[in-house]
Amino acid sequence: MDKFQVDFLNNKFKMLNGLIKNLSNEVLERPGSNYGKDALNNLNQIYSLTLNIEFFLKTHDDFDRYEFDDLVEYAYHVHHELSEVICKDDNNTSWLYSRVNQYADVYKSASETINAFL
The number of C-alpha atoms within 13 Å of 78 and in the hemisphere containing its C-beta is 37
Predicted model pTM? 0.95
Within 8 A by CB and 6+ apart from 73, the residues are 106
**pLDDT score for 10:** 98
* Each residue's pLDDT tens digit, 51-109: 999 999 999 999 999 999 999 999 999 999 999 999 988 888 999 999 999 999 999 99
Instruction: Provide the residue ranges of all domains of the chain, joining segments of one domain with +.
Output: 3-116
Mean pLDDT, the chain, as a whole number? Answer: 95
Q: What percent of the chain has pLDDT over 90?
A: 88
**pLDDT score for 77:** 98
Under CATH, which number does the domain 3-116 receive?
1.20.120
